[in-house]
Amino acid sequence: MKERSPNPAALAKHIRASGKAAGASDSRAPAGQDWPDRCGQFDIRIDRNGTWFYQGSPITRMALVRLFATVLRRDAQGDYWLVTPVEAGRIEVEDVPFTIVEASATGSGRAQIVTMRTNLDHNVIVDRDHPIRLEPQGADGSAVPYVTVRNDLEARVLRPVFYHLVELGEPAPGALPSAPDTQIYGIWSSGSFFPLGSLGGTD
C-alpha cells in the first residue's frame, strides 16, 4: 500500500514556503543528511507524453506542473523524486519526465545553435552538457532520441521534431573507425556534432 500522498495544493504550498524552488541548476536528489526527514511515495505519475497525473487524474494546471518540475530530482538508482523542504516523495515516470515539442536553429554548419523547447516551455540549447542521444528500441533496430534538459533529467524528442532535426542535418565530418563504409548523419550545435543516424553503406 502506498504511503500517504499530499495533494498538489499542499505540495505547492511547501515549495513556495521555501522561498525558492530548487530549479534547473541542480537536478540530482540530495543525498544523506540533505534529504528531508519525511520520505515516502507520492501518488503522482508522469506518462510517456509528459502529462502529470495525481491519483490517476491529469493535473490540468500548467503553472502547478511547472512548479513541481522545479523540485524534480533523479537519484543514483534512476528513481524520480519531488524534493521539497518538508518532505521527499518518489513518483512514477513512465519514460522520461519531459518531451521536446519544438526545435529551432540559428546559424549554419559548426556555428549552428539548436534550441529545443520542452512541453513545459523550458528552452534547452543543445551542447556538450545538453547532448542528444539515441536509445535503440525495438527489434527493427530503430532508435528513440533524447536530450538532456538538466543533469540526469531528460526529454524525449517527439517524432515531428526529430524529422525537423533531420532536415537540419548533414553528413558527419568523418566516418567511424569501426564502420568506415557507413555515413553518419547528424546536426551541429554549439560547436559539437550530434549523430542522428546513418545513411547505410556506400555500395
Overall fold of domain 98-198? duf1285 protein fold (2.30.270)
CATH superfamily of the domain spanning 8-93 = duf1285 like domain (3.10.540.10)
pLDDT at 142 (0 to 100): 80
Residues in contact with 133: Cβ distance below 8 Å, sequence separation at least 6, in sequence order: 145, 146, 147, 148
pLDDT at 40 (0 to 100): 85
What gap in Å lies between CA 90 and CA 148, rounded to an integer? 21
Q: Read off the pLDDT of each residue in 141-163 and give the average, rounded to a whole number.
A: 93
Q: Is the pLDDT of residue 31 over 60?
A: no
Ordered by start, the domain boundaries in the chain are 8-93, 98-198
Residue-wise over 153-190: b if at least 16 C-beta within 10 A, else e?
bbbbbbeebbebbeebbeebeeeeeeeeeebbbbbbbb
Whether the Cβ atoms of residue 52 and residue 1 lie closer than 8 Å to each other: no
What gap in Å lies between CA 90 and CA 36, rounded to an integer? 13
Other C-beta atoms lying within 10 Å of the C-beta of residue 63 = 8
Q: Read off the pLDDT of each residue in 184-203 and give the average, rounded to a whole number.
A: 81
